[in-house]
Amino acid sequence: MGFADLKSPTGLQVLNDYLEDKSYIKGYVPSQTDVAVFEAVPGPLPADLCHALHWYNHIRSYEKEKASLPGVKKALGKYGPADVEDTTGSGATQIVKTMMTLSSLDLMRRKVKKKPKKPALVSKSTILRDVKPWDDEADMAKLESVRSIQADGLVWDSSKLVPVGYGIKKLQIQCVAEDDKVGTDMLEEQITAFEDYVQSMDVAAFSKI
């Protein structure tokens, strides 16, 4: 079925939907096809039919050149969604045909509508680190200052002091890191940068979440 009654709201909606992804009724340049449909439209279109309105104003700008545009005018039913001749009726028959066209267009949109993408899984790791001071006189509270290191994808967790020997304790601190955002080497460099308090750092345990 081609375009039916373009003087009715239903017919104009079909035209608007048809022009959603097109600049012209047929082809890539204005032609007698556009002139034939333009002359069947009853004047300026409402703003809510944005695709048809844009096309209408564009073709209207060719008012003086209409006769020289390429192509040959055909019956209105030759143009439209199915590009076949429209056996235009009246009354109930025409309403049924129009409703069938709208239903077909709606079904096509549903079929081509892309399924929403599932959110990508974020790969994370739990890392337990041993942070060792220089000696037994170290202020262990200051070792906790490594928590001041902040990065997107890094979350600090629990910590505790663990005896090493000779009165020395080490800080065991756990964190959760997003693998794509927080590198192990990068975090080690930032922790050992607290060189006034940190003598060394080792990874005590590592597991994927």
Instruction: Kindly state whether residue 96 falls inside one of the protein's structural domains.
Output: no
Instruction: Kindly state whether residue 18 falls inside one of the protein's structural domains.
Output: yes
Let me know: does 76 contact 33? Beta carbons within 8 Å: no
Residue that terminates a domain, selected from 58, 78, 98 = 78
Rounded to two decimals, the pTM is 0.42
One domain, residues 66 and 140? no
Write out the residue range of the structural domain in which residue 149 sits.
Answer: 124-208
Question: Residue 172: what pLDDT?
Answer: 92
Looking at the 3D structure of the chain, how many domains does it have?
2
Where residue 132 sits, what CATH number does that domain have? 3.30.70.60
Instruction: Kindly state whether residue 98 falls inside one of the protein's structural domains.
Output: no
Phi, psi dihedral angles at 132 (to 5 degrees): -105, 135
Instruction: Find, among 171, 174, 168, the residue nearest to 156 by Cα.
Output: 174
Instruction: Kindly state whether residue 105 falls inside one of the protein's structural domains.
Output: no
Question: Residue 115: what pLDDT?
Answer: 63
Residues with pLDDT less than 70, the chain = 1, 82-106, 108-116, 118-119
Question: Residue 1: what pLDDT?
Answer: 57
Question: Residue 87: what pLDDT?
Answer: 40
Instruction: Kindly state whether residue 88 falls inside one of the protein's structural domains.
Output: no
Instruction: Kindly state whether residue 40 falls inside one of the protein's structural domains.
Output: yes
